[in-house]
Each structure stands twice: as C-alpha cells, then as structure tokens.
Amino acid sequence: MGALHEGHASLVKRAVRENEAAVVSIFVNPTQFGPHEDFAAYPRDEPADLALCEKLGAAMVFAPTVDEIYPAGDATRVQPGPLATRLEGAARPGHFAGVATVVTKLFAIVRPEVAYFGQKDFQQLRVVQTLSRDLRLGVRVVGCPTVRDSDGLAISSRNRYLSVTDRQSALALSRALRGAEEDWSRGERDPAKLLQRVQRAVAGPGVALEYVSVADPITLDELARPADRALIALAGRVGKTRLIDNVLLGVTLEEIT
C-alpha cells in the first residue's frame, strides 16, 4: 500500500532475484479500511516509492488510481472464507473482503506467476494463499520473513506515527513474542501457558492489548491442547497507533502454502 520500507524492499529484492521480471503494485485500497480507520491519513510517498523500486531492480510499478480499480458501477466483491473471520477479521469487520477483492483484481490485471507477501500480516498471507487456491488463480503465493529494526520492532508503515515514548512501549510486543519463542525452544507446548506468557509480558502502561492468539498456523483455529506447531499472533494499540506482530513456532514459512 505504498510508503515502502525495508520490509517491502525485502519482498521486491526476492522477487527480482527469483524471477525474470518483478512488478510492484502500489495501491492504498479503500475497501479494506473501516469507517473509523486511517485511510485518509495513511502515509503516501509515491515519488520515493518509485525511486526505491527502480533502485531495487523492479521491471514495473503498477500504481492505479481508485477510479481505475473501482470504476463507477463496480459491484463485485470477493468474500473470503473462515480464515478471515477471526483475529484481524473479527477486530476489523469487512477488512479481508476488501483485501481479497483488491488482490483478485491485481492478480487479474498483472497476471503474475508468483506473488510475495510478508509474514507480519500472516493472516493476510493465509487468506491470499487460500484465495488463489480456491479460485484457481494460478498464482503461487510465497510468504517472506518479517523484517525487524535493530530493537526488534517489526517494521511497519504505521511505525512513523509512534512518538519516542510510544516506540519504547511498542517494544513490549516483540519482546513478548520472543519470550514465548524461548519457552517453546525449551519444550513448552501448552497453548494456555504460552498465551499467559505473552499477556504478562505485554501487561503494563503504554500498550492496550486487543488480542493474543495461539493458533494452528494453517487453519488459524485456536489451539486447545499441546501441538507440534503454532502461530502466536497479537494486536495492540500504542498511543493512537495500532500494531500487529506474530511468531511461527515448529513450522517454517516454506511449509505453509
């Protein structure tokens, strides 16, 4: 959605490295924003985005206007399945219908063979993988690791909204996930204990936790008993900024398709 940062750059670099030609779509999609979300204020810097894509070796940037993607009379929407009803789907009703619709349109226009999506928006990655499979779109959807700043915070376009104090508070999110990852490496498999570990680590001033989930990374169903793989995902508000993050345990991105 533009305001490209090192996380996006990592996707472009991989696309350039693994394919004959890489196309970058840049489009702030209005249909995935709720009525009280930050569509109008969402950061945009198309000249800088174009310069970065050229520097990284992208063959093309597709940056349509809203009227091109949603012309007068446009009425068809893509409704994703159960994967989209929990976590971000529950917190932001209609969000994934907007994502699924615009991704279907972008795939139909550009006709890529492969598409690269970041792990930070893991539920989005799974929704798009399932979308491409179910609608027979013929696009292989590849997950790429979350890129983090040196302090551990997942890089996001919304990080620019954080004050210095807010940024320090936001570090509780990645620290909590790292702590759960350490527990997992020591053999902890009880989803309730992993959940409590994250909740305790985030508790305190500065972060208003919206949800923590310990789920199966394929289905996103909450885990009720110990398992050999897990996704721990969370969302919280730091000041006025809403942030999400996650960690995969016992499974790699390459194994999730």
Q: What pLDDT score does 257 carry?
A: 86
Fold classification of 159-255 is Pantoate--beta-alanine Ligase; Chain: A,domain 2 (3.30.1300)
Residues in a beta bridge with 204:
none
At the top level of CATH, the class of 6-144 is alpha beta
Confidence band for 55, pLDDT divided at 50, 70 and 90:
very high
Q: Active-site positions?
A: 8
β pairing state of 114-118 and 208-215: unpaired
pTM: 0.94
Confidence band for 43, pLDDT divided at 50, 70 and 90:
confident
Could you read off the pLDDT of 163-213 as tens digits, one per residue?
999 999 999 999 999 999 999 999 999 999 999 999 999 988 899 999 999
Could you read off the pLDDT of 80-89 as tens digits, one per residue?
999 999 999 9
Cα–Cα distance measured from residue 78 to residue 53, given in angstroms and rounded to the nearest whole number: 29
Hey, where are the domains in the chain?
A: 6-144, 159-255
For the chain, give the mean pLDDT. 96
Q: Please list, residue by residue across 70-104, b when 16 or more beta carbons sit within 10 angstroms of its beta carbon and e when fewer do.
A: beeeeeeebebeebbebbbbeebebbbbbbbbbbb
